[in-house]
Amino acid sequence: MTQFLSLLVNGISLGTIYALIALGFVIIFKASEVVNFAHGSLLLLGAYTIAVTADDLGFVGAALLGIVVTAVAALIIERLIINQLRGAPVISLAIVTIGVDIIILTDLIRRIGSDILNVPHPWAGDFIRAGGVGISVNRGVAMLVAAVLIGLFFLAFKYSSWGVAMRASAEDGETAALMGIRQGQVSALAWVVAGALAAVAALFLVGSPTPGVSPAVYTVALAAFPAAILGGLDSTGGALVGGLLIGVAETMAAGYQDEMLFLGRGFGSVVPYIVMLLVLLVRPSGLFGTKELTRV
């Protein structure tokens, strides 16, 4: 039972990190109608920036710089490429983002090499325990920060002018334009927010129990794609639920792998995709997705 609770808490904390990534993925899709496959390498860019500047700037400075750099990188992709291709088919845009992803990722892998860059989190590898239930401080802080950010995001999405503009232009871009809503602005802001959220996710994703920044972080970030897709690619609520679901399922599968040895070791990292496939078999447009949407 304590093992179950432990896994559940850890799964939820991993899930909130996934949710941050998936939320960015979803708002980019809503605002620009782009499935952004460059999201994983944006996240790695954030992690890399934090790791290489932490010695000079300290942890907080590096974290802030990482968030800014990632947000600006996302903005540059939007302004230079996506905005120029407005109106192009969804598939072409998706392939363009795969190209961008390959460019950023290749360069980052070259820079990181075979090292594992350490990010000096102030809480290092500390652990909190209550009874038999334990979680690394890093993941605990992640859960709190993510909860606050996600809460703020949903408030802004519901009540701010940006939120209304975003939802209006996601529903009917031409009419939103007729009302004077500037889609360029809405879309640019969505990329900035998504980039910043990805960097925050990166900050915690490279802390305990993960050893540090290595190209493998990219693979971990990829698990947020099934989270966004199973939630319904155009649903922010779906991104949250999908993130939590994937986080818990993955952690459980990893934690109980001794009981499920017939599946082999390392089964946990496959689970996100299996969960996604199972959900899509039953609900092809995701848990909360709009029916008419192009399916992935």
Partner 1 sequence: MLRIDSLRVTYGGAVQAVRGVTMEVPDGKVVAVLGSNGAGKSTLLRTISGTLSLHRGRVEEGTVRLDDVDLVRRDPGKIVRLGVVQVPEGRRIFSRLSVEENLRAGGLSSRDKAAKAKALQRVHDLFPVLKERGSQRGGLLSGGEQQMLAIGRALMTSPKLLLLDEPSLGLAPRIIGQIGEVIAEINRQGTSVLLVEQNATMALGVADLAYVLDVGEVSLSGDARELSQTDEVQRLYLGHGSETPQEERLTTGPRKTLSRWTA
User: Given CA atoms 26, 223, 91, 215 in this order, what sign does their dihedral have?
Assistant: positive
C-beta of 26: minimal distance to partner 1 in Å? 15
Of 45 and 170, CB closest to partner 1: 170
- Rule CB under 8 A: choose which of 107, 115, 126, 171 binds partner 1: 171
Which runs of consecutive H residues, i.e. helices, occur in 160-205? 161-171, 173-178, 183-205
By CB under 8 A, name the one of 182, 209, 219, 265 that touches partner 1: 182
> Helix (H, G, I), strand (E, B), or coil: what is residue 282?
helix
Give the relative orientation of helices 137-159 and 2-32 as an angle to the nearest 10 degrees.
Answer: 40
CB closer to partner 1 out of 4 and 159: 159
Q: Determine, following the binding rule CB under 8 A, whether residue 219 of this chain makes contact with partner 1.
A: no
**Residue 116 interacting with partner 1 (CB under 8 A):** no
Q: Is 179 in the site for partner 1 (CB under 8 A)?
A: yes
87 binds partner 1, rule: CB under 8 A: yes
Other CB atoms within a 10 A radius of the CB of residue 127 amount to 14
Contacting range for partner 1; rule: CB under 8 A; set: 7-15, 123-131, 178-186, 256-264: 178-186
Angle at which helices 183-205 and 2-32 pack, to 10 degrees?
Answer: 160
DSSP class of residue 132 equals: T
Segment contacting partner 1 by CB under 8 A, of 3-11, 107-115, 136-144, 174-182: 174-182
Question: What distance in Å separates the CA atoms of residue 30 and residue 248, rounded to the nearest whole number?
Answer: 26
Q: How far is CA 197 from the centre of its chain?
A: 7
Compare residues 128 and 155 and give the one whose CB is closer to partner 1.
155
End-to-end CA distance of the chain: 38
Question: What is the x/- site pattern for partner 1, positions 138-167, by CB under 8 A?
Answer: -----------------------x--xx-x
> Which CB, 160 or 219, lies closer to partner 1?
160
DSSP per residue over 81-110, as a string? Answer: IITTTTTS-HHHHHHHHHHHHHHHHHHHHH
For partner 1, the closer CB: 79 or 255:
79
**Contact with partner 1 (CB under 8 A) among 72, 88, 168, 189:** 168
Distance from C-alpha of 39 to C-alpha of 276, rounded to nearest angstrom = 18
Whichever of 66 and 173 has its CB closer to partner 1, that residue is: 173
Residues contributing to the site for partner 1 (CB under 8 A): 87, 161, 164-165, 167-168, 171-172, 174-182
